[in-house]
Amino acid sequence: MLKSSLLGPKSDRSAAGVSLHDTPNSRRVHDEMPQTLSVAIITMNEELNLARTLASVQFADEVIVLDSGSTDRTLEIARSFDAKVYFEPWRGFAAQKNSAIEKCSGTWILSLDADEELTFDLQQEIRRLLAHNPRADAYLIKRRNLFLNRWIHYGGYYPDPKLRLFRRHSANFAPPARFTERPVHETIAFDGNLETLQYDLIHHAYPTIESYIEHMDRYSTLGAEIIVAKGKTGRAWFGFYYNVLAIPALTFLWNYIFRLGFLDGREGFLLHFYHSTYTSWKYSKAWQTTRNG
């Protein structure tokens, strides 16, 4: 399952933006063009999610599904919704999403993960927006993150704004001129007129504990690569225990207590407890990599 991070929502532009380079002349050209919408989705074995996602974007002019080798019913489901299906080997989140965007022909791009769904109100809001010439270059969309099918309101998980809607030819993921390519939690930079839509996107992130543990095991391995690249593996005695024990404990305390994560009940406790465990795994795997040379 390919998804954006549920590990630490950020609302700052550097985490959720895109790089926009419209000039006044290109802006006038945009205003004169019909406003059409392409949806870009990357997939890998998403048969449990994809139908729900595609059903929520049937108002779009075009849907692009870029698959990286699904062996389940993902492609069959995509074609049943008249999506344009492409295949490319997996090259990382940023590269894969950029490739899907390049295949779009609409004047606007809606970039979604396969486990995200537009609420009815959000569908109507986007349709109304594109019926006229939008005044912004890109739009943040608030996201409801679900854990064990419960909407997580607190602990930093809502409103979790993500930049999902932007003008074509105005955006890319992890621009190499400003950011080092990362294997997970792809970064998007933004320089332009940014606004936030009123209604929400639903992120069906982790319906079971098993799915969360499986993903955190994989994400912690990718996160460890980033730590190793930055040289923050904590090979000294103090650094090791600080990274593997203190940082996870402080992360849990901050999100569960001070950011009111306890108000989300038992699901909130499990999410924040397991997230702190993920943090420990990440640093432990980084230490293991350097320990083994």
Q: Is residue 7 part of a domain?
A: no
**Among 164, 180, 206, residue at a domain's last position:** 206
Query: What confidence tens digit (pLDDT) does each residue in 216-266 have?
Result: 999 999 999 999 988 888 778 898 999 999 999 999 999 999 999 999 999
Can you give the pLDDT at residue 173?
74
Q: Is residue 36 part of a domain?
A: yes
Q: Is residue 194 part of a domain?
A: yes
Q: Is residue 2 part of a domain?
A: no
Specify whether 90 is located in the same domain as 112.
yes
Specify whether 187 is located in the same domain as 252.
no
**Secondary structure E strands in the chain:** 37-43, 62-67, 84-87, 108-113, 116-118, 138-147, 150-151, 162-167, 194-206
**Among 148, 180, 206, residue at a domain's last position:** 206
Specify whether 178 is located in the same domain as 194.
yes
Burial class (CB in 10 A: 0-12, 13-18, 19+), 176: exposed
Specify whether 103 is located in the same domain as 228.
no
Can you give the pLDDT at residue 83?
98
Specify whether 101 is located in the same domain as 185.
yes
Measured between alpha carbons, how far apart are the two ends of the chain, in Å?
A: 31
**Among 206, 233, 259, residue at a domain's last position:** 206
What is the pTM assigned to this prediction? 0.82
Full residue range of the structural domain in which residue 100 is found: 13-206
Can you give the pLDDT at residue 291?
85
Residues with Cβ within 8 Å of 77's Cβ and at least 6 positions away in sequence, in order, are: 47, 50, 51, 54
Q: Is residue 179 part of a domain?
A: yes
**The two three-digit tokens of residue 55, written as one number:** 């059903």
Specify whether 19 is located in the same domain as 164.
yes
Specify whether 25 is located in the same domain as 141.
yes
d(CA 127, CA 39): 13
Specify whether 34 is located in the same domain as 84.
yes
What is the Cβ-side half-sphere exposure of residue 109, based on CA atoms within 13 angstroms? 26
Can you give the pLDDT at residue 235?
74
Specify whether 197 is located in the same domain as 257.
no
Q: Is residue 4 part of a domain?
A: no
Q: Is residue 104 part of a domain?
A: yes
Q: Is residue 76 part of a domain?
A: yes
Specify whether 168 is located in the same domain as 221.
no
| 240 in Cβ contact with 287 (< 8 Å) | yes
> What is the number of structural domains in the chain?
2
Specify whether 148 is located in the same domain as 246.
no
DSSP letters spanning 114-169: TTEEE-HHHHHHHHHHHTS--SSSEEEEEEEEEETTEE--STT-SS--EEEEEETT
Can you give the pLDDT at residue 192?
73
Domain CATH for 109? 3.90.550.10
pLDDT lower than 50: segments of the chain: 1-26, 175-183
Can you give the pLDDT at residue 174?
61
Specify whether 165 is located in the same domain as 225.
no
